[in-house]
Amino acid sequence: MEEAEKRYEEAMAEDASGEDVQAFLKHFEEMEAEDIKEFAENNQEANLQNLTAPASEEDLQAWPDGAWGVAWWSNSLDNKQREAMQNHLPLIVGNVQGVPSDVSHEANINAHDHLRDSDEHAEYRDNIVDIERAVGEQDNAGDRYLLSLDVGTPGEDRQPLAEISVGDPDRAAEVTYNVPGMNSGTHSMDGEVDHAQTIYDNTGDQAVIAWMGYDPPTMDETISFDEGSVLLDNRADEGGYRLAYALDSRHESRASEHSDGDSDVDIKVLAHSYGTNMTAHALTRTEHDVHSVVFMGSSGIPRDVAEDASDLNVEVVNGQPRVFATEANADWLAGVGRGDLPWWLGGGDFDPYGAMDRIDPTHEDFGAYVFTSDIHDPLFGESEHPDLESVTDHSRDMAEEGEYGYLDDGTLSLDTITQILRGENQLVDYESVPGYSIENYE
């Protein structure tokens, strides 16, 4: 027991390494089931605080990845040890990459009991409740899995983070990570899962993960010029390590199931607003290429992160990476994130920190496949898309009648995104294509 508690203390330290985390988890292989129970009783904070997450390039190399987690859970622990871990240390089990989705789900649901019974996270109780409610709404197609539940490390003051999948990412041939931007959070996790559900319903057999695995900037922080401003890149930098870890671990856990080491899953990313900045950080840190990435209403990609689409770790087809981007004409807020004020706010450049250098991924210099989110009414005849609507705002969904966000049903945006995620790229009516003039692209 003394050795287990020593390993735990090292794994929870502010300067913990990936080796410390691995050593702590591996020590459970040497413990009897009753010892695991005793450890949990003596260290109740293990169900109230999370192990640290990777926060540097070095961490990404050292942290236990998806393949490590598969081997640890399936091969290194016996049935009694696994049962004891699930029952008595659910917050640990539920957040180890590579643990099966159904096991992570059950463990994280069990962890809610400990969190509800404690005042440790009273400030964020509503977030915790909303996470549980979002995963419990099973009226629609596709089972829901609570893949991760991160309430923070000791002394860390931020909202809880979570990942909820619609569909089983351990079995689906295609997995899409839906990444939100400014003002998003687990306080509205049901809305995040609604977006995932919309994509799932439109794409068929894909698993779609509502990835609320980072702490995005808020409008209040931006207005007050706080360190959490959307005009700064620090939240994107922090979240980028977390997303890179999640993407690579998903790939590695699936690849570990095959003797040749090849993954049988296409991993895709759909990112909105500040989430595009964070995703760009992640896709310059991953070891494995994702299948494709779609940017919606981007607040801009820092040039020192990615000058163009080829800097991102995305599969290349016909000499071009599968990077797609769109921005609605009515989406003025995306431009503000890149330092461009609309005319009715005075126009011109806006850079209060004096350090902004972000590129619009819909600009031809970035080299993405650009598609429109706007219906262009012809002077004569009928529109090419008479049954679809233009995006009218920066949001992903709009509650007002006659207003539409990027992921609202009935929009040209969602219709096109669905085609891309299905792999029906040839059906998309692009505004620009990298390496070609649009007139010559077929």
Q: What letters, b where the CB count within 10 A reaches 16 and e where it falls short, cover 121-158?
A: beebeebbbbbbebbeeeeeebebbbbbbbbbbeeeee
pLDDT recorded at residue 440: 40
Structure confidence at residue 146 as a pLDDT band (50, 70, 90): very high
DSSP label of 73? I
pLDDT recorded at residue 316: 96
| Integer Cα distance of 96 and 78 in angstroms | 17
Structure confidence at residue 138 as a pLDDT band (50, 70, 90): low
pLDDT recorded at residue 351: 72
Stretch 232-254: mean pLDDT:
97
**Contact (CB, 8 A) for 372 and 431:** yes
High-pLDDT (> 70) share of the chain, %: 93
pLDDT recorded at residue 436: 63
| Listed ranges 130-144, 276-290, 332-346; the one with the highest mean pLDDT | 276-290
| Integer Cα distance of 110 and 114 in angstroms | 7
pLDDT at 437 over 50: no
Q: Provide the mean pLDDT of the chain.
A: 91
For strands 323-326 and 369-371, give the pairing: parallel
Stretch 194-215: mean pLDDT:
95
pLDDT recorded at residue 1: 86
For 88-99, the pLDDT digits (tens) are 999 999 999 999
Helix (H) or strand (E) holding 142: none
For 326-355, the pLDDT digits (tens) are 999 999 999 888 877 776 666 667 777 665
pLDDT at 117 over 60: yes
pLDDT at 40 over 80: yes
For 116, residues 6+ apart whose C-beta sits below 8 A from its C-beta are 125, 128
Structure confidence at residue 439 as a pLDDT band (50, 70, 90): very low
pLDDT at 382 over 60: no
pLDDT recorded at residue 345: 65
Q: Which position has the token pair 């236990």? A: 64
Structure confidence at residue 77 as a pLDDT band (50, 70, 90): very high
Residue that wins the pLDDT comparison between 210 and 437: 210
pLDDT recorded at residue 376: 79
| Integer Cα distance of 100 and 170 in angstroms | 7
Polymer length of the chain = 442
- When mean pLDDT is compared across 256-260, 404-408, 409-413, the lowest value belongs to 256-260
- When mean pLDDT is compared across 10-14, 217-221, 234-238, the lowest value belongs to 217-221
**Contact (CB, 8 A) for 21 and 28:** no
Q: Which two tokens stand for residue 438?
A: 């649009």
pLDDT at 113 over 50: yes
Does the pTM surpass 0.85? The reply is: yes
Structure confidence at residue 266 as a pLDDT band (50, 70, 90): very high
